[in-house]
């Protein structure tokens, strides 16, 4: 059970750890990168796959019991990334999937106008100072230096709600003088591509990379109903890549231009939609908690009426306290009550009937939909934030357990610092590390390698024979390996090994013949 509440880790610390230990790299790094794109390294790929598989197992293959304790059915799908462009016209993405953006004529920077905030003088006189949401310090320094004033004499207004007459007075975040920002303009977030060998930029060849996985589900609703003998209510789940040409990709993998989503469309009778909406909001919060996320770092935020799309009657976000939002929260997942909007739109645009016929009641209707939609890449960021822990541990790895440390502080006498990623064993990229005590004793190395060869048939296992044992433990702590197994001289005599627990740092001996079943019971 968690008692102490950790201070959230800064984005800089986390990004550096992810690069150093092979979790996440800047995409195209040897060519100076590409803004908004990231590559998952060997450990990041394992972590992401584990989160993906946990969702698939807990949502599609073995979903939770429904609100009345009944079994529910969800089936999986893997639809294509490029779909007929009419899909995006019908879904509303071609016409309405826009973000307001503003350009800086001087620095050539581009900003999401709704993420750009402005300090506007309360007096109505003088220059206004813009800053990116959550980063007011540059603007505050300028207020003091250039306007010889105090930020308390200013009010904060989002740039896209600013009186247009004031735009020439605004000093952009990266500009050397005021008045360089353009008025906000709408910008469509879908990436365009062109289909076919002779494809030019003509409209008839234009297609789009999907900005969400959800529409692939709606356009296959009839295929699934016709082939899978599913009965309402039921769900279709899908995990896959989505692409959004974000105006300002930022905060590491929180907002990127290529990312993965895990989406469920739950189809039900209109009269039951509210019951299912409540069920899914609670179920999704519980799921994140089941992965080890501290509930103090999660919250439910219900959308206000003016935030809802015209067809939606309710929407709630699961929000997480990321290091860069703390003490505030940022979105992790959205659960939307979408009514029958999507199926109705596709029925009308395609001319294909998407009604459900209930054989028991002889009723024909378009089902209502509840959509829990979460980011897989953003989920990985949550797991990393949540797992990152700095601790003080007794020197020499002997007496006493670890103490939670305030990040960046020095250890007390007799202690040293360690960084440990406390992933739930189910999610940890490497499950077990195998060490021979000494690398220059053939008997130890052979026995350890035999063990390694056996265990890797079942789990991701790491073999390490270099350096002092304490250093090898630290390397595994920093990538979140829950168990380290050491083969020592006693192992040669009695066929036992020591297992060291990542979190408590306690060690115990166990016969090698029992190791597999012991690990099996822990790695769930
Ligand atoms: P925002 O308002 O932050 O742009 P959104 O509300 O449009 O996001 P949804 O369309 O509801 O997001 O997408 C569902 C989920 O997909 C989000 O909760 C998030 O986890 C993930 N997601 C959306 N956009 C991105 C992105 N650019 N990078 C990474 N994950 C994203």
- Considering the domain architecture, whether residues 221 and 322 belong to the same structural domain is answered as yes
For residue range 446-459, list pLDDT tens digits in order.
Answer: 999 999 999 999 99
Asked whether residue 1 carries a pLDDT value surpassing 60, the answer given is: no
pLDDT the model gives residue 378: 98
**226 in the same domain as 341:** yes
Q: Helix, strand or coil for residue 396? A: helix
Q: With cut-offs at 50, 70 and 90, classify the pLDDT of residue 202.
A: low
H-run or E-run covering 143: helix 137-145
Mean pLDDT of the chain: 94
Q: Ligand 1 centre and the CA of 174: distance in Å?
A: 26
Q: What integer pLDDT is reported at residue 2 of this predicted model?
A: 45
Alpha carbons 243 and 431: distance in angstroms, whole number: 32
Separate counts of helices (H) and strands (E) for the chain? 14, 28
pLDDT tens-place string over residues 225-260: 999 999 999 999 999 999 999 988 989 999 999 999
Residue 524 CA to residue 310 CA, distance in Å, equals 43
> Given pLDDT bands bounded at 50, 70 and 90, which one contains residue 9?
very high
- Domain extent, residue 465, equals 430-522
**pLDDT band for position 311 (cuts 50, 70, 90):** confident
CA dihedral 22, 24, 27, 28 (to 10 degrees): -10
Q: Is the pLDDT of residue 3 over 80?
A: no
How many C-beta atoms surround the C-beta of residue 189 within 10 A? 17
At 143 the pLDDT is 93
pLDDT, tens digit (0-9, with 9 covering 90-100), for 270-306: 999 999 999 999 999 999 999 999 999 999 999 998 8
DSSP labels for 178-204? SS-BPPPEEEE-PPEEE-STT--S-GG
Residue 409: its pLDDT value, please?
A: 86
Tell whether 381 is covered by a domain: no
Contacts of 172 (CB under 8 A, 6+ apart): 104, 106, 107, 109, 111, 130, 178, 180, 181
Per-residue pLDDT tens digits for 60-117: 999 999 999 999 999 999 999 999 999 999 999 998 878 888 999 888 888 989 899 9
Residue 32 domain flag: no
Mutate to test the pocket of ligand 1, among 101, 331, 332, 337 (most ligand atoms within 8 A of CB): 331
Domain C-terminal end among 135, 158, 188: 188
360 and 232 in a common domain:
yes
- Ligand 1 atom with minimal separation from the 375 CA: 20
Q: Based on the domain organization, do 364 and 331 belong to the same domain?
A: yes
The reply to whether 362 falls in a domain is yes
Let me know whether 176 and 292 are in one domain: no
Is the pLDDT reported for residue 201 higher than 80?
no
Any idea what the CATH number is for the domain that residue 355 is in? 3.30.930.10
Give the pLDDT score at 4: 75
Radius of gyration of the chain (CA): 27
Instruction: Specify whether 235 is located in the same domain as 166.
Output: no
Contact partners, residue 423, CB within 8 Å, separation at least 6: 47, 292, 383, 387, 429, 480, 482
User: Where are any strands of DSSP class E within 422-518?
Assistant: 432-436, 461-463, 483-487, 496-501, 507-511
Residue 380 to residues 298, 412, 487: CA-CA distances in angstroms?
Answer: 15, 33, 33
Report the C-alpha gap between 365 and 355 in whole angstroms.
Answer: 5
Residue entry with tokens 């001319």 = 351
Instruction: Give the DSSP H or E segment for 206.
Output: strand 206-208
pLDDT (tens digit per residue) in 330-374:
999 999 999 999 999 999 999 999 999 999 999 999 999 999 999
Question: What does the alpha-carbon distance between residue 202 and residue 3 come to, in Å, rounded to a whole number?
Answer: 61
Q: Would you state the pLDDT for residue 185?
A: 84
Question: CA-CA distance, 340 to 265, in Å (whole number)?
Answer: 11
* Ligand 1 binding residues, C-beta < 6 A: 212, 244, 246, 255-256, 259, 261, 331-334, 373-375, 377-378
242 and 342 in a single domain? The answer is yes
158, 188, 218 - which closes a domain: 188
State yes or no: pLDDT of 197 exceeds 80: no
Give the orientation angle of helix 42-55 with respect to helix 376-387, to 10 degrees: 110
Same domain, 492 and 463: yes
175 and 226 part of one domain: no
The pLDDT tens digits of the residues spanning 31-56 come to 999 999 999 999 999 999 999 999 99
Residue-level pLDDT at 316: 97
Residue 425: inside a domain: no
Confidence of residue 5 (pLDDT cuts 50, 70, 90): confident
pLDDT tens digits, residue range 385-444?
Answer: 999 999 999 887 556 788 888 888 889 888 999 999 999 999 999 999 999 999 999 999
CB 102 within 8 A of CB 113: yes
Pick from 48, 322, 334 the residue to mutate for probing ligand 1's pocket: most ligand atoms within 8 Å of its CB: 334
Q: Say if residue 219 is in the same domain as residue 335.
A: yes
Q: Is residue 141 part of a domain?
A: yes
Residues 268 and 357 in one domain: yes
- Best residue for ligand 1 mutational test, from 378, 380, 381, 382 (most atoms within 8 Å of Cβ): 378
Query: Domain tally for the chain?
Result: 3
For residue 6, the model assigns a pLDDT of 85
Show the CA angle centred on residue 83, arms to residues 82 and 84, nearest 5°: 135
For 130-184, write each residue's pLDDT tens digit: 999 988 998 999 999 988 999 999 999 999 899 888 999 999 999 999 999 998 8
CATH code of the domain covering residue 502? 3.40.50.800
Is residue 129 a contact partner of residue 143, using CB atoms and an 8 Å limit? Answer: yes
pLDDT of amino acid 97: 79
User: How far, in Å, is the centroid of ligand 1 from the Cα of 459?
Assistant: 32
Identify whether residues 159 and 230 lie together within a single domain.
Answer: no
Position 5 in a domain: no
Q: Are 139 and 97 in contact (CB under 8 A)?
A: no
Maximum C-alpha span of the chain: 85
Report the nearest-CA residue for atom 21 of ligand 1.
375
Separation of alpha carbons 56 and 97, rounded Å: 28
Residue 202 in domain: no
Residue 121: inside a domain, yes or no?
yes
Query: What tokens were used for 63?
Result: 């979903």
Kindly give the number of the ligand 1 atom that is closest to the alpha carbon of 99. Answer: 4
């Amino acid at each position: 059970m968690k008692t102490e509440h950790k201070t959230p880790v800064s984005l800089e610390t986390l990004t550096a750890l992810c690069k150093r230990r092979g979790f996440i790299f800047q995409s195209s790094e040897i060519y100076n990168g590409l803004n908004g794109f990231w590559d998952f390294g060997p450990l990041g790929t394992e972590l992401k796959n584990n989160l993906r598989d946990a969702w698939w197992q807990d949502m599609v293959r073995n979903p939770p019991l429904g609100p009345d304790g009944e079994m529910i059915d969800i089936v999986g799908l893997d639809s294509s990334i490029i779909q007929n462009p009419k899909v995006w016209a019908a879904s509303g993405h071609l016409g309405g999937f826009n973000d307001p953006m503003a350009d800086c004529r001087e620095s050539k920077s581009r900003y999401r106008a709704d993420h750009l905030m402005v300090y506007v003088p309360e007096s109505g006189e003088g220059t206004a100072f813009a800053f990116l949401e959550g980063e007011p310090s540059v603007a505050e320094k300028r207020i003091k230096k250039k306007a010889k004033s105090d930020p308390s004499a200013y009010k904060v207004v989002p740039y896209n709600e600013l009186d247009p007459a004031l735009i020439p007075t605004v000093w952009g975040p990266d500009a050397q003088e005021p008045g360089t920002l353009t008025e906000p303009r709408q910008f469509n977030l879908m990436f365009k591509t062109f289909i076919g060998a002779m494809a030019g930029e003509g409209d008839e060849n234009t297609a789009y990379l999907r900005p969400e996985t959800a529409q692939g589900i709606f356009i296959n609703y009839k295929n699934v109903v016709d082939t899978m003998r599913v009965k309402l209510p039921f769900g279709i789940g899908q995990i896959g890549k989505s692409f959004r040409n974000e105006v300002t990709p930022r905060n590491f993998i929180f907002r990127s231009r290529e990312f993965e989503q895990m989406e469920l469309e739950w189809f039900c009778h209109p009269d039951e939609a509210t019951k299912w909406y409540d069920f899914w909001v609670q179920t999704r919060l519980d799921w994140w908690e089941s992965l080890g996320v501290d509930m103090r770092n999660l919250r439910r935020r219900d959308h206000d009426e003016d935030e809802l799309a015209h067809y939606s009657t309710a929407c709630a976000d699961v929000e997480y306290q990321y290091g860069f939002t703390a003490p505030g929260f940022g979105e992790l997942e959205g659960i939307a009550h979408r009514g029958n909007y999507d199926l109705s739109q596709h029925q009308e645009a395609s001319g294909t009937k998407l009604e459900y016929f209930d054989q028991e009641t002889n009723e024909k209707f378009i089902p209502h939909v509840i959509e829990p939609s979460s980011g897989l890449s953003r989920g990985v960021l949550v797991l990393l934030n949540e797992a990152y822990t700095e601790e003080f541990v007794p020197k020499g790895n002997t007496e006493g357990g670890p103490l939670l440390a305030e990040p960046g502080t020095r250890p007390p006498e007799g202690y040293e610092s360690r960084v440990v990623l406390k992933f739930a064993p189910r999610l940890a990229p490497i499950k077990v590390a195998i060490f021979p005590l000494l690398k220059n004793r053939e008997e130890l190395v052979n026995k350890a390698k035999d063990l390694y060869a056996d265990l890797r048939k079942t789990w991701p296992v790491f073999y390490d024979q270099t350096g002092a044992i304490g250093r090898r433990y630290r390397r595994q702590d920093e990538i979140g390996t829950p168990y380290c197994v050491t083969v020592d001289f006693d192992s040669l005599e009695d066929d036992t090994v020591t297992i060291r627990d990542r979190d408590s740092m306690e060690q115990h001996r166990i016969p090698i013949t029992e190791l597999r079943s012991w690990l099996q019971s822990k790695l769930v």
